[in-house]
Structure 1
Amino acid sequence: MKPQADIAQSVARNLKQYFKDLNGETPCNVYEMVLQQVEKPLLECVMEECGGNQSKAALVLGLNRNTLRKKLAQYGMLGA
């Protein structure tokens, strides 16, 4: 499946550059950093694709709607 391979390659390429840019400094919290960098744009794209419909977006993402709401709140993406 090409899109997944492209995403994986992009992540790997960016991580290699990140470690290179550290220039010997010790990295910290890389797992959380990567999750945040990937998760927010994923949520934004899916929510846009689903016209803001959280139930539909949760289905597309394979998440429980409450889990989706928690993640949207975490990234400040819930409407007022």
Structure 2
Amino acid sequence: MTPKPIDACVRENLEAYFQDLDGEEPHSMHDMLIKLVERPLLEVVMQKAQGNQSKAAEWLGINRNTLRRKLTEHQML
């Protein structure tokens, strides 16, 4: 079985989110979605980089200090 593309999974989940809201207006969706996606991204990249923050930061295309800040925000240090 071929996995769905990430954007298709996000789209499906957003549709379900709006359906669950049942007419209520959403708030702070961008922040919510970034936090939900960022943590598993960091977890997988850090695992594949065997905990090497410099390598992980390079793979992510971000500064090592930014990576450390994000790891701290997600309580992953």
TM-score range, shorter chain: over 0.9
How far did residue 69 of structure 1 move? 0.3
1:38 is aligned with what amino acid?
A: V
Which residue in 2 is equivalent to 1:72?
A: 71
Give the residue type in structure 1 aligned to 2:57.
Answer: A
Normalised to the residue count of structure 1, the TM-score between the two structures is 0.89
Which amino acid in 1 is paired with 2:26? P
Aligned-CA RMSD value: 1.3
> Where does structure 1 differ by over 3 angstroms across 4 or more consecutive aligned residues?
none
Secondary structure of 1:17 counterpart: helix
Identity %: 53
- Corresponding residue for 2:52? 53
Gap runs ≥5 in structure 2? none
Give 1:68 shift: 0.3
Q: Which amino acid aligns with 1:71?
A: K
CA–CA distance in 1 between the matches of 2:26 and 2:63? 33
**How far off its partner does 1:26 sit?**
1.1
Distance 1:76 1:35 in 2: 15
Paired letter, 1:44: E
Which one-letter code corresponds to 1:65 in the other structure? Answer: R
TM-score, scaled to structure 2: 0.93
1:8-44 C-alpha deviation (Å, 9 max, x unpaired)? 1111110000000110111111110000000000000
Partners of 1:6 and 1:29 in 2: CA distance: 25
CA distance in 2, matches of 1:17, 1:56: 36
